[in-house]
Structures are given as C-alpha cells and as structure tokens.
Chains A and B, each alone.
Chain A
Amino acid sequence: MLNVTEMLEEIKNSPYREIEICAPHTGRVNFAAIQQGSKVEGPHGLWKEKPGTLLCTLDRERNPKPIAAVEKGELCLLHSELEGCFVEAGTRLAVIRHLLTRDEVQAAILKKALHLFTAPERAKYYFVPEIDKKVRTSGSQSVTVKDGMELFIMSRMKREVPLVYTGPAGLIYAVYFTHTSNVDAEQPLIGVCPPDQLAAIQEVIMRVQTEWTEQG
C-alpha cells in the first residue's frame, strides 16, 4: 500500500526541481534584461497561452527565436558570458530553480500508484488511430485498456510495428509520451488505473490537494 504521507514528507524535504534551459538549435544569443537570481514566470493564463519570462533570443537565419522560462522559479544560473556568441544546439544557457506545484507532486505520486506500461525499446510511440482519436476528443481517461489490446504503434528506424498492451485492465490515467520525442526503453508510456484501485487513486489525489500548499 502506498504511503502517501511518507512520500509527501520526502518531497517537502526537497521540493525543488532544477530545470536546464538549453539552446534548442544553433544561433546567436542575446540575453534579455534579466539577471542571475531574478524571479521568473512560467507560461500562464487560462490555457497557458501567455509565454513565460523572456530569457534570451536565439537568432538563426534572421529568425529570432524567443527562449522563455518554461516554469516559474528563480534563475539560479545565467550564462551571460555567451552574450552575442554563436552557440551550438544543446548549449546550456540558464538554470531555473523551480518549486514543485501541487499538480507536479500529484503526478509524481501517481506515477508510483498507477500500473505503468513501459516502452520495450527506445522509439517514438503513437496510439493506434482509433485510440488516438478518442484520446484527442475525450481525453485519455475515456479509454479503457485490457490485456492483449493493440494499443500503440512503435516507430523507430523508419519502421513501424504494432505494440500490444499487457497488464491489468483499467483506465488510462496518465500519458507519459509525446509523438515528437523518443521514449527510452523501460520508461513509462501510460499509467493505468484498474477499476478496483480507482478509490485509492482518488484518495491519493485528494490527499495531495489538501496537504500540499501551493506557493504564491
């Protein structure tokens, strides 16, 4: 049985996550009027439609790409020595110290509570078209999976093969992959909640909602 109190205490002892902001592609860096130690905002608004605090712009082929903070936090490192330099893809530009939100804590605990179906190979994953349509229109929790169900398309090295779900029947409670990124072998693809554990999972959610105080 999951000890939610213990897990919450553990997270409370170290409630931060350090987020590296790296150059998504090559380009010339121009930092915004921001300094190390500054507070930054992540994307906000009802639909997260407003971008986070501008950190820098990356100019490539006359296209300035704004690089914004992806989460709220404190700018604990800023590589201002790169100002005006042409940088390679993947170059570290800044580090944000981010205090975990209630939703993040909930997701972290749920990951331990749900049945995780993992990737057998490093590959890109897609839901099969009919499931994909359902997830897009009604959300993942509208899909019930069962053992032996053809659920994914695994795509690697330009080849696609169907992948069958194995595990307990239940609702897809969480989806941990996107179509655009590779998933490493043994990393979770989905979190499934069997019907007999639905009450326990909802209990976890309620506990986090009430016991985790969101920082303003």
Chain B
Amino acid sequence: MGKSNKESNVAPAGGLIDVSSHKVLVANRGEIAMRIMRACVKLGVAFTAIFTKEDTASGHVRLAKELGGEKNLYRVSSYHDANELMAVADDAECTAVHPGYGFFAEDFRFARRVSKRDRKLIFIGPSWKIIRELGDKINTKRLARSLNVPTVPGSDRPIYDEMEAERIARTVFDFQVQQGIKRPLVLVKASAGGGGMGIEEVYDIDNFRSVYRRIRNYAMRQFKDEGVLIEQRITDFNHLEVQIVSDRSGKNPVHFGTRNCSIQSTGLQKRLEVAPGFSPDEINYSFDARKVLDDIVHYSLTMARKVGYDNVGTWEWIVTHDGSPFLMEVNTRIQVENGVSARIASVKGEGGVDLLAEQIRIGLGEPLGYNQQDIAFNGVGIEYRLIAEDPDNRFTPWAGLIERFGWQEKPWLTMHTHVPTDVPYEIPTEFDPNLALAIVWGENIEQAKDRGRLFLDSLELKGCKKTGGELKSNVAFLRQKTAGILQF
C-alpha cells in the first residue's frame, strides 16, 4: 500500500492502472505541498510545484527543486488564481491537480473546470458533484437529516438580509430557552469562511445586529461573499472527526478512525489533535464513549455510502457533555491533521500509512485494495500545530524572522515543516504563521503525553521582529494543554 509497485497497481476487480504515467500539479504551498511532493515520489508519480514571490524562501520551493528540479517549479502570481494553475498545468504537461487543503480544495467550480476543460485533468479529491453536495453546509444538513443523522439547529442557507438574519437568531435563542439552556448563545459565521475564521458569538439578541454587520463586512472583504450563517452555539463540547477514505468506485468507503480536535484557539482554530477521538479504556467518561465513537463512524460511513464518496474526506462532529453527537460539516478534502490518524493506523499489518499517498493513488484511479477489516489501530497520536502567535493576546499572529528552529529526532516523532532549519526565515504576512506540525506517537496516553512534553521542552525556536520584540509562539500553550488531552 502507498507504493506504485506492480502489485498495488492491480485492481482487485482486475483493472490495471499505471499511476506512474501521471504528473501531478501541486497546487498549494508550505508543508502540505511538501507532503504531496514526497507522496508523489513514493508512488513514482512526477509532479510540478508552484510558488509565489512571498514564498521564495519557503521549504517547499527548496524541496521542489531537490525532488523535481528547477524545470518543475513555476512562480505564479497567486495560489488563488485558477488560470495560473491551469496554464502551468498545461505548460508542464500535468495530468492531475492536487489542491492540498485551503485554496481550491473545496471549490467545486474549480474541480469541475479541471475535469471538464478541453485538456482534461484529474482533480485529486472527490468528484465536483460530491464537493458541491457536501461542501454546501446546508445540503449536508439536509442529507444528514434525511438519514436520521443528528445536526446542529440553525439556518439552512446563507443569509443576506439583516431582517431575516435577526428573525432566525431570535428563533434559535427561543429554541434554546425552551430547551432549558440557561445561557443561550448564537453563532454568526461567514458562510464562505472556514477554518474558524469569521465566527462570532452573540450572547444577547440586542447585540445581534452589530455582530451580524461586522461579520458580513468581514466576509465581504475576505471572501467576496457577504452570506452569513446563524446557528445555535453549543458550549461545553468536544470536537471530533472521522477520517474517511474511499476509491473512485464510491462503493466501499473505509474509515481511518476518529480524532479529537477540541483544543483550539479562542478563534476556534485547531491547535492540538489527538487520535483516537476518545480513549474509553484509559479514561472514564460520563457517557458511553465507545458507543459515541461507533455512532459517529457509522453515521459518517452511512453518508459517504449514500453520496458515493470517492476520495478522502472528514466528517466533523460536536459531542456534547451528555454524549450526544451532532454533525457539524463535512470537509471534502485532505485535512491538516490527517497525519495523526495515519500515525496510529496500519493496513494489513503494515504501519507507515500515508494518507496523502493513498489520496493520490485512489484519486488517479487505483482501487483501494483493502477493506475495513484490514485496517487496525495502535496507540495514541498527538499532533501539535506550532504557530507563531501570542496565546496571551487572543492568539494574535506574529510575523517576523525565525532565526533558529531545531528539534531532536526521535523514532516516535514526525515533523512536517516548510521553515528551513539551516537559514533564517522571514514569515510572510500573506499567510497564517504556521511553522510546523509535530506528530508524536505513544503506546498509550501517558506515554504520548510524556513524549509530547519531551519534544516541546527540547524544541529550539527563536526569532525577532524588525521593529523589535521577540518571537511569540504557542509552545507553552501546547505544553499546558497536553496534560488534559482526551478528557471531557
């Protein structure tokens, strides 16, 4: 698995697909671009990478030169410009596009364009129809409800009208009062947003309009779409995910377990992820955690089968304090935290699972080649997102020069970073100041936590700002949060 050898090219059904005849455009930047390039090399698939002026010093540019040579690297004006990507794909004679995460990863129009243009390309992700169906939070909600999958109460489409928005907010407030919730909360979020951006809470209906206007204006500036969603804000919950993988047949989705992504910034952005999602064997929960995990996996696979899901994807869940799960949304793409699930998984007894390689392989048409019984899980994985930010100041991003960055290599540690460790690196202000992903594995929770702390304590991370001031990072925050992982 994960290799382009002759055995893995042979489909169980008898089809023969030669993935090595393909060339993938890596339509992303940073660490995910590096993981895609390495997965391509592992599969024997050629690739072409891109970068913008601001990313000249990024590790992904250096790696692209090392693995693919200067000819397979193009400077583009923007990662957001589909015309640039198509033009480069044609000039480099690519046959497929890997969008990574962010940018075009969940843009069904882009996926459709890629697969329908004169010179067709394979979009390495779900088919555009599935992205359209599940990428729309409202459609997802409707589909889920039709399959008796529980969802969060709230608006069932983006709202553009202030009066209507206020009416829905009042209904959601009233609903919570009727439910006996003492402190009802409404969440206002940019419909076109994602990754926790453009979300605010409203505690008092009298403040709704000002929050609504602020989010609407923000959404217009950042996403060019002022549509806003209004939902019940559920407090005191855990954020869980189910990792789904399915080949182009869409008939046999499997899961790669659950993740717990509850440790987030104040802006609701993930900072620390753990696989599996709960650990009922080691921690006592006030509800049947095993059943919750089984239920969310079952619901996710049910939906995946219903739509004929045909690549990797993540079903995101809210689990309340009483153990009730609600489907939040489906991310029709590879996620940042895929590596932590892969780290605890094995297929047919072999570890070293690479979900990006799996995504590319099945995206190019290879059958999955194994079923759920072939997948096993062992131990606990923790993913730390190392970010230049100030947790004491509402996680304000920090931009400046990274002067020193280093860690001790360990067999239980996997690092993904685009930040060079041998030369200083200026963080570009055009993007989030993510520095690295560190994935730590342990046989059990305690060992994983001990190793996690050992890693964080040995980390060397220094930097400064041109205008003065030392580097701010979330290392201390991550260390402090390590103690309570998987506890509810």
Contact = CB atoms under 8 A, between A and B. Distances in A.
A25 B83 contact: yes
Contacts of B432: 157-158
B429 A61 contact: no
Contacts of A26: 74-77, 84, 87-88, 91
A186 B78 CA distance: 25
Contacts of B52: 89
Contacts of B83: 25, 60-61, 63
B389 to A, nearest CB: 9
A89 B467 contact: no
B429 A157 contact: yes
A17 interface: no
A148 interface: no
A88 B83 CA distance: 13
Main secondary structure, interface of A, reads loop
B351 interface: no
A160 interface: yes
A157 B431 contact: yes
B429 A88 contact: no
A86 to B, nearest CB: 5
Contacts of B74: 26, 88
A158 B222 contact: yes
Contacts of A89: 52-53, 75-77, 84
Contacts of A157: 397, 399, 429-433
A155 B217 CA distance: 13
A157 B430 CA distance: 6
Given A26-B84, A60-B83, A129 B217 contact: yes
Interface in B408-455: 429-433
Contacts of B399: 121-122, 156-157
B84 A25 contact: yes
A139 interface: no
Contacts of B77: 24-26, 89-90
Nearest to B83: A61
A63 B81 CA distance: 13
A120 B76 CA distance: 28
A110 B439 CA distance: 55
B171 to A, nearest CB: 29
Contact of B81 (A25, A156, A159): A25
A156 B396 contact: no
10 contacts: A25-B78, A26-B75, A27-B87, A86-B91, A88-B76, A89-B84, A121-B467, A156-B430, A157-B430, A161-B396
